[in-house]
Structures are given as C-alpha cells and as structure tokens.
Structure 1
Amino acid sequence: MQVTRGIIGRLRSFGDKRPGIRTGLRWKLSAAIALVGALVALALSVVVHNAARVSMLDNARDLADERVLIAQRGYEASGRLNFPNIKIDDMDLPAELREKVAEGRRATFVSDSAGGEPDIWAAVPVKDGHVLSLHTGFTDRSTDILKDLDQALVIGSIAVVLGGSALGVLIGGQLSRRLRKAAAAANQVARGEPDVRVRDAIGGVVQDETDDLARAVDAMADALQQRLEAERRVTADIAHELRTPVTGLLTAAELLPPGRPTELVLDRAKAMRTLVEDVLEVARLDGASERAELQDILLGDFVSRRVAAKDPGVVVRVVHESEVTTDPRRLERVLFNLLANAARHGRPPVEVTVEGRVIRVRDHGPGFPENLLVEGPSRFRTGSSDRSGRGHGLGLTIAAGQARVLGARLTFRNVRPAGAPEHIPAEGAVAVLWLPEHAPTNTGSHPMLPTGQ
C-alpha cells in the first residue's frame, strides 16, 4: 500500500510542476491555423497574380503581332505605311528582336521599362528589306485590372487568416474545454473521490482522442482503487487474525513468575498488541467507513482537561476560547498521538496552544524530517535518525486519518530562527490541527496530506 501511495504522490508532484509561460490550446491552434492560412493565401496570391500578368502579356503580344501583320500587308500592297504607331527600321528595336527579324521571322518581345512597366515590341521584315515594328506599353486598363486583382487577393487573404483564426479559436476552445473538464475530474480522483469519472465529466456527443484519454484515466483510477482496497483488506485481515494470538501471548506472559525476563516479555507483548490495534485503525480509516459522532464542546476547556489527565507536565495555553462541533473521542485521539510523538521524538518542554479552532502542539527537539514535511506522515517510517529508533511510525498517520474524518486539516512545520537558512538545525517541531468551521458531512478515502502553513 505504501508503494501505491508513493506512486500517487509522485504523480501529484509531477502534475504540480508547471512551466513559467503557459498559453492556451485554443490560441496555439488558432495561431497555427492562421499561419498556415496566411502562407497558403500568400502562395495562391503570388500564383494568381503571376498567371494573370502572363495571360495579359500574352494577349498584348498577340494583339501587337496582329497589328504589325496587318501593317505588313498594307505596306507590301501599296508601298506606303498607313498604320498608326508603326515604324520603319526603328533604331530602338531591342537586339534580341532584331536578331529574330534578321532571320526573316516575325516576332514579339517584352522588356521592362525604366518605370517597371512592361514594354511590348512586335516586328516583321518586309520584301524591300525594311523592318516594320510596333512599340507599345501595358495598357492602363490592364494595369487597373491587375491592381484590382491584387486588392481582391489581399482582402481575400485577410479574410482567410481571420476566418482560420476564428475557426482555430472555436475548435481549440472546444478541445481545451474538454481537457479542462478532464483535468478537473482527474484532480477530484487524486483528492480521493473514487466515484468521479473523467469520461462522464467531459461529456459531449462527438468522440475524439480526449475520450480515449478519459477512459485510460478512469481505468487507471479503478485499478489503483482496487489495489488500495485489496491491500487494505489484506492489512485488516492480517491484523485481525493477529489479535487473538497476541492477546493469548499477553495473557500467558502475565502468568509468568515476577522478574526481569517477565517484564521484557510483557513489554514486547504490549507493544505488539498496540501495533496490531493501530494497524486495524489505519485499515478502518483507509476504508472511508468511519463517521464522526458530533458534539458541541468548548475547545480550550476540553484540551486543558484532557492534556492535564494525560501528562500534567505539558503546558496548555488558551489564547481564545471557542465552541466547536466535533467528535471528542477522535479529537482526543489526534491530540494524544501528537503529544506522544512530541514526547517520543522531541525534547521538553512540550507546549499546547489553543486559539479559536486551531490547536498547536510544539516541542523543542530537532524538528520533523524533511520527507514528512514534503510527503506527509508515512506508516512504518519514523523519519530521520534524530526522531526515530522508537515506535512503529503509525501515530502521525492515525492522527492525519482521524483529522480527515473530523473534516480538519493537520499540518507540520519546523521552527527556525528568523532568516536562518535551511541547513541551520530546527529549534522545534510544530503540529497544527485546524478544525473546520462547520461539522463534516462526508469523508474521503485517504488521510489528508499536510499543506504548508
């Protein structure tokens, strides 16, 4: 059972580690879709613009070629040049076009002007050895068409990016919402609520990978719960079976003749009986079947009388009296276990302070071990060498379990001088029991882990 709880604890600690910068899934998905949409829109815009420009240039070249062909026919028929914008032996004719004409071919050519607009040339040789040529630019109409097309492409690209972003926010928001519901349900399971199902929490009609994740988490939670329950039953059964022989052993030891050996046997037999009873109590607390029998008590008066009866040497200070609704028997069990731990592992004086609904038990020993402060009480582990060597390590575990039944919170910390670094030895250990304002109405399955004060 301790191994299983260790796995759960490591899972919790791993889940608590968060990166410094956190962005939502919806914004990541929206940014990804917007980026892809922008790249696709840009590529399509470039392709469409170039295709339209090439098509318009081809049409302009065909038109120039037709005009120069008509001029050739009229010139060869009449010997006169009656076509506008047609020149004979134009000195500005591009060299590439001049070479084609020299070969006796009719040709067209496109060059870039100083302003960046294309120049369209068409030339044809005639029978008398002259060259007829036509030089024209890109028409204003074609330029306007290209500008309108570019404007439409820009508007369309912006619409695609905005639409993709909106779609990403919508899809990412839905997925993020399902994942947040799954995380909240998983946290409830981690806090000891076995009836919660992650698949039921996310809901929805459409099934996707989040449903697979939810089913896997539910299956893991069921397997862990079954393992914990099986371990609890085994522990309870073993402890229950040990009660009879241990009781018989204690009875037989009491019949031995007086002497030192008899005292040693009786001491070990009593320790074994205490261990068996504690193990049974831990098993009952793990089973979440314990319920508090509530009564109204004056907390300061109750603690003062119980501590005086248990150990008159412990100093009790009531700072503020308060009436609470709790289970006196379980509260006494928690208080006595904390006192026993302070007496066994700490050093006097042991002090108890009652302030409202808060009870503090402090000793002046070496302090709690670091693993207890981080992970909480662990059964069959008494901590460091300074606070070990005696006892079986169930006292604080039982105290934490009984506090859970009461709906209370039990925390642990060490006392150090103000501003002292961690390597400076502690000047004492403090266990703090925080009783709830309202009486508990239900209980969980596991003792409550301590939180920092």
Structure 2
Amino acid sequence: MLIPVRLRTKLSLAIAAVVAVTGTTLGFAVHEVTLHNRLDQTRSEVDARLTVAARSYLDTGTPTVDSALDDPAVPAPLDAAARAGQRATFLDMSTSTVWAATSVGGRTLSVHDSLAATFAAVDGLDRTLLVAGVGAVAGSSVLGVVVANGLSRRLRRTADIARAVAAGDLDARVGDPAAHRWRGGRGDGSTERDRGRIFRRRDEAAELAGALDGMAAALQDRLEAERRVAADVAHELRTPVAGLVTAAELLPDERAVELVRDRVSLLRGLVEDLLEVSRLDAAAETAELDVIDVGELARHCLRGVADVTVHGSPEDAVAVLTDPRRVERIVSNLVANSRIHGHPPIELHIQGRSLIVRDHGPGYPEFLLSEGPRRFRTGDPERGHGHGLGLTIASGQAAVLGADLTFANAADGGAQATLTLPPAEF
C-alpha cells in the first residue's frame, strides 16, 4: 500500500538530508585536514628534538635525556633508513608513537613521542563537529518544517480556490499577500521600488496564486459579458415576439396558420427561458418560502398532467420548507425533458423530502452526469432535440431554493432526477 507523502514532508526531509550530507562531508574533510596537520606538526617537533639531540651527542658524546642510542624499540624501517645515512621520521600507528632517527658515529640516535595528545585533540574536534552537525540538522529540520508548512498552506489554498472556481464559485480568490504586494507596482522591475518588491515578494507560489486569481477574474468578466449579451438579446426579442404572438392570434384558422402559431409559441418560450436563465445567473431570484406537505406539493405540480404516474403513499410524505411555484417549475421542466428525450411511462416518486422524476428512455448522457446541465447542449441525437435550457433552469431554481437536484441513470434503464427539498425546520 502506497502512503502519499505531502509536499511539506518532502521539503523538510530534503532540507534535513542536504544539511546532514553537507555536514558529514564537511566534518570528514575537517577531521582529515586537522589530523594530518597535527601529525605533521608532531613529526616536525620530534625532528627538531632529534636535531638538538644529535648536536648535543656530537659535542658531549652523551645522548640527551629524551634520546637514545640503538634503541631496540625503533621500528625496523626507520632503523634501516638511519643506518643507511638517512634522517627520517616514522609514525607507528599501532603504538600511537612518532619516531625520528639519524645515524651518528655509525650508531642510530632516535627520539620518540606519543600521539595520544594529538588523537585526543582530534577526538575532541570530532565530538564538537558531531554536536554542531546534529544541531544544524535539527535547526534546519525545524526551519524546513516552517518554510514547507507556509508553502504547503499557500499551495493548498490555491488548490482549494481552483476547485471552487471549477465548481462555479467565480468570486473565489486566493488573495495571497505575496501575490498582490508585487502586483501593486508596474511589476516589470523598471524602478528600484519594483525591483525590490519583486526580489522580496515574488516567488513561484505567489505567481501561481496571482495567475489563478487573474484567470478567475477574467473568466468571471467573460461569463458576465456573455450573460449580459444573452439577457439583452432576450429582452430585445421579448417585445417583437410578443407582437408576433398577437399577430398570429389574429390570423384565420388554417393549417399553415397553426404551424406559424406553434413556431411563434416556441420562440416565445425560448425567449422567456433565456430571460429566466439570465436572472438566475445574476442571482436576482429570491424564493418565497412556505411550509407545505410533499404529497400536496406533488399534486400541485402535476395539475392537469395526465401522462405522469405518481408513486408514493401520502402518509410517507413529510413537510418541507420551499417555494411551491419554483418546485412546480423544476418538476415541469424535468417532466418536459422526459417527454422530449425519454420514453414513457414517466413516473414521479415521493420518498420523504425527495421528488424523483424518471422515464424509461436512453438515460442522461455521460457529460451531464459528470458535468451537470449545460445550456444549448442536449446530448446524443437519440435523445431528441431541444435547446438545453430546461435542466439548466431546473438546477438554477433548485439552487435558489437551497434544494439538492441530482441526475442519474436508473439501474433498469432510463433517466432519473432527484429533487431533495429542505426540511420544514430548516
């Protein structure tokens, strides 16, 4: 099983690992350099003592206190080098001793010293480096957690706002202070002030937040412009269409006239639907809430409708807080969609606070189930024709009511829309 690792954890571990590797490498280098320097210094000191001892022996014929002639403890390689006329030093790591020897009068004069003090000093340095390294790793880990938490928090907020915008909340903004401080100037680094602001504040997370806010603002402006165009067009069409309806009613009763009246009626309905969609998009609709029984509400919605079968016992119905006129609009649109795109029988099921409208046709298209209703998009050709505003209006009216409208395909076939209304104590 794979366990996801958050970005802040990765950053914290990466910073700690980099500091640990760097500290280890630096500590090893310092250890080696210090050890070699101390060993070289000790060898130089022993060699200097050998020089003094050799001069004293040549002057007095007697070795000094810290020197010896033909010492059997002299390492064999050093003794051989001295007898060959060489002056040399030797590190005996097995006994932690440094030797220096030379030949005087055919005999080997030697001086030696312990390396214990040198090794003790290097060990002390190693302990200091270890403590400093552990402290550096701990401090960098804390710093990494602080930095990573801040970055992760900003990125999570940006992701949340992106999801909110994708869900339709175009007013959502990241509002990252770092993103807006540097955006306050010209932002091109043309002035000292701008260059300082960019250097201090502009990072990748701020750029991402600023880009997302800019995208949301541009999308909101574009959609608002489209909504205004649709509303203006529908409003301008309303008067001439009303005139067409009136003129069509004055025509004599003939077959061709009936076709004209039918087309004019459809055009009028389309204009009214466009105006309603525009009002819903502009959040200009308010519900007139009232407490009503779901069973009575269902009967109210189906007045004069003969091709819809109602299922549900009246005693199972509950009281809800809603606007009956808007519920009727929603149910009528769902039923009309089933008539156009589905197959009979069309059924209305009452289940608690829910009204379920279903048919036995090909069902809703996949895009509608995953993305929701889209205006002027009706799906596959086998689902019939239409302008795609009915379900859009139904979803908008449900949002005004605070109700939940979901779309699904029934297991045994057919489209199924479920409208769940708020309870009476809402």
In the superposition, the TM-score normalised over structure 1's length comes to: 0.80
Q: How much does 1:317 deviate?
A: 2.1
1:71 aligns with 2:53: yes
2:8 aligned to which of 9, 17, 26: 26
Residue 409 (structure 1) aligned with residue 396 (structure 2): no
Which segments of 5 or more consecutive residues in structure 1 lack a partner in the other structure?
Answer: 1-19, 418-426, 441-453
Asked whether the 8 Å contact 1:299–1:323 carries over to 2, the reply is: yes
Structure 2: gaps (5+ residues)? 182-199
Deviation of 1:42 (Å)? 0.6
**Equivalent position to 2:305, from 296, 305, 310:** 310
What amino acid maps onto 1:107 in structure 2?
A: A
Residues in 2 aligned to 1:119 and 1:135: alpha-carbon distance in whole angstroms: 7
**In structure 1, how many angstroms separate the alpha carbons of the residues matched to 2:37 and 2:425?**
84
CA distance in structure 2 between the partners assigned to 1:149 and 1:216 by the alignment: 52
Q: Percent identity?
A: 47
* Aligned match of 2:272: 277
**Deviation per residue, 1:100-124 (Å, 9 max, x gap):** 874x5533233543xxx65523122
Report what 1:177 is aligned to: 153
SS in 2 for 1:314: strand
8 A contact 1:101–1:107 mirrored in 2: no
The answer on 1:432 being equivalent to 2:414 is no
Structure 2 matches for 1:294-333, cutoff 5 A? 294-311=289-306, 313-318=308-313, 320-333=316-329
**One of 132, 143, 148 as aligned partner of 2:109:** 132
Counterparts of 1:346-361 in structure 2 under 5 Å?
Answer: 346-361=342-357
Q: Which residue of 2 is the match for residue 369 of structure 1?
A: 365
Residue 190 of structure 2: aligned partner? none
- Residue correspondences, number: 405
Deviation at 1:90, TM superposition (A): 6.5
2:248 — aligned with what? Answer: 253
Q: Structure 1 residues 308, 152: CA separation in 2 closer, same or farther (over 3 Å shift)?
A: same
Distance 2:79 2:220 in 1: 88
Q: How does 1:112-191 map to 2 (within 5 A)?
A: 112-113=93-94, 119-126=97-104, 128-139=105-116, 141-191=117-167
Higher relative contact order (CA 8 A, sep 6+): 1
Q: Is it true that 1:234 corresponds to 2:229 in the alignment?
A: yes
**Alignment CA distance shift 1:120-1:387 (3 Å):** same
Say if 1:181 and 1:202, in contact at 8 Å, map to a contact too: no
Q: Which one of 77, 80, 89 corresponds to residue 108 of structure 1?
A: 89
SS at match of 1:416: coil
Q: Bigger shift: 233-242 or 129-138?
A: 129-138
Counterparts of 1:192 and 1:313 in 2: how far apart (Å)? 33
CA RMSD across the alignment: 2.9
CA deviations 1:387-407 (Å, max 9, x no partner) are 12x322211111111111111
Q: 2 CA distance for matches of 1:85 and 1:254?
A: 135
Deviation at 1:224, TM superposition (A): 1.1
> What's 1:4 paired with?
none
Aligned to 2:261, which of 243, 262, 266? 266
Distance 1:200 1:330, change over 3 A: farther
CA contact (8 A) 1:178 1:202 kept: no
Where 1:361 maps in the other structure, the secondary structure is strand
Instruction: Pick which of 76-85 and 231-240 moved more.
Output: 76-85
Tell me how far 1:193 sits from its aligned partner.
4.2
> How far has the Cα of 1:273 moved from its partner?
1.3
Paired AA for residue 330 in structure 1: R
Q: Check the 8 A contact 1:296/1:324 in 2, yes or no.
A: yes
Aligned counterparts of 1:35 and 1:342: Cα–Cα separation in 2: 63
CA positional deviation for 1:432: 0.4
For 1:422-447, what per-residue CA distance to the aligned partner results, in whole angstroms no more than 9, with x for missing partners?
A: xxxxx22110011123799xxxxxxx
Alpha-carbon displacement from aligned partner over 1:26-79 (angstroms, at most 9, x marks no partner): 322211221111112112211221122122212321222123223212321233
Measured in 1, the distance between the counterparts of 2:115 and 2:90 equals 13
Secondary structure of the corresponding residue to residue 22 of structure 1: coil
Asked whether the 8 Å contact 1:111–1:118 carries over to 2, the reply is yes
1:284-316 deviation line (CA, Å, top 9, x unaligned): 111111111112211211212331422354234
Displacement of 1:192 after TM fit? Answer: 4.2
Task: Give 4+ residue runs of structure 1 displaced > 6 Å after superposition.
Answer: 200-206
1:260 Cα offset (Å): 2.4
Cα distance in 2, alignment partners of residues 334 and 122 from structure 1: 105
Structure 1: distance between partners of 2:121 and 2:294:
89
2:186 corresponds to: none
What is the alpha-carbon distance in structure 2 between the residues aligned to residue 177 and residue 264 of structure 1? 63
Cα distance in 1 for residues equivalent to 2:218 and 2:425? 32
Change (3 A) 1:361 1:379: same
Residue 191 of structure 1 deviates from its aligned partner by: 4.2
CA contact (8 A) 2:74 2:110 kept: no
Instruction: Report 1:370-389 matches (<5 A).
Output: 370-388=366-384
Aligned to 1:12: none
Conservation of the 8 A alpha-carbon contact between 1:97 and 1:108? no
